[in-house]
Amino acid sequence: MPRRSLILGCGGYLPARIVTNAELASRVDTSDEWIVERSGIHQRHIAADHEKTSDLALAAAQAALAHAGIEVSAVDAVLVATATPDHTFPATAARVQAGLGMTRGFAFDLQAVCSGFLYALTMADSLIRSGQIRTAVVIGAETFSRILDWSERSTCVLFGDGAGAVVLGATEGEGTIADRGILSTHLHSDGRYHDLLYVDGGPSSAPTVGHLRMEGREVFRHAVVNLAQVGHEALTTHGLSAADLDWIVPHQANRRIIEGTARKLGVSLDRVVITVGEHANTSAASVPLALSQAVHDGRIQPGQLVLLEAMGGGFTWGSALVRI
Ligand code: UT7
């Protein structure tokens, strides 16, 4: 009987402060109309000065553990996907581990920018299926507000802060697509596209943390193609078609990217979870935040087939096919 990783619970955390498009328009040369038309974003949450990525991650992890009904003592591993760690080292995940009161197991960060949660989910699923661990907390958490150039209107209007988490637990499946849990994951990267989306700082290249730089139009073009490709890959691996999907939970970068990808995949928008309007792009946090919202509001039900997908700097992109 093949081992599967089941999503036992999920949770999210958004900082209290909401910044509207109108507020941004009072600081840079932009407008609510432009931001909504080009991206679908109406507002974003921004972390308070004292809130670090680990604080957001810890709150999301605690919410996911409460939803799963799992005690911290049962957790074997904490994985945090983030491009905005508290410190260069140690890992933000180690802070979260301590915050949870967890003194056994292990914790580590991984970095694939907006695809980070898909990468972390893949690693945790591999650890569970290989028998090394039974239970993992997988978190995407970001404070992108700290790496934005707030004078650069083409980027500062697009991002927000937040965290989302899932608790994964080992279960025995039949080895069919009727199994609950992660059915497969698919990861890609292509480092030739480094310069289209990057941060111009970091410990070995500059004396500063740096700011996010992006060729938005180019990233947009690649995003729709890559996301549709990795969505098709997930379906064809199992001999499925778009009609078999109950939901897509995509990375929330831009409503037009989400719509374009859904169109290419042949999935109608009423089966796509869209939170970009309220959350903006929260990078690695966006997929688990959207998943958590749709599970907690009752849209996504146990037994349903869900496609998760994301694309980000690197470029990196990936998908996961999950029966909830
Ligand atoms: O998570 C993955 C990472 N990110 C993404 O996936 C983002 C991908 N890209 C996008 O979402 C879109 O390309 C953007 C939302 C960034 C831009 O939309 P666009 O339709 O591609 O616009 P554009 O870059 O072609 O810019 C159109 C115009 C430009 O003016 P000109 O050169 O045509 O005169 C910009 O200077 O809009 C101008 N512009 C703005 N105007 C008002 C750029 N930013 C703003 C702004 N407000 N905030």
| Atom 2 of ligand 1, residue of closest alpha carbon | 312
Q: Hey, whose CA ends up nearest to atom 20 of ligand 1?
A: 38
Other CB atoms within 10 Å distance of the CB of residue 190: 12
Whether this model's pTM surpasses 0.95? yes
Name the residue at shortest CA distance from atom 4 of ligand 1.
Answer: 253
What Rg, from alpha-carbon coordinates, does the chain have? 18
Q: Which residues of the chain have pLDDT under 70?
A: none
Residue 251 falls in the annotated catalytic set: yes
Q: Measured on CA atoms in the order 289, 117, 54, 73, is the torsion positive or negative?
A: positive
10 has catalytic annotation: no
Asked whether the bond before 90 is cis by omega within 30 degrees of 0, the reply is: yes
* Rounded distance from Cα 25 to ligand 1 centre (Å): 15
Q: Whose CA is nearest to atom 47 of ligand 1?
A: 30
* Separation of CA 57 from chain center: 12
| Pocket residue to mutate for ligand 1, from 196, 220, 261, most atoms within 8 A of Cβ | 220
Instruction: State the pLDDT at residue 1.
Output: 78
Element (H, E) at 230: helix 216-237
Q: What is the pLDDT of residue 115?
A: 98
Residue 194 annotated to the active site: no
User: Of 29, 24, 40, 318, whose CA–CA distance to 145 is shortest?
Assistant: 24
Mutate to test the pocket of ligand 1, among 227, 254, 276, 287 (most ligand atoms within 8 A of CB): 254
How far away, in angstroms, is 192 Cα from ligand 1 center? 22
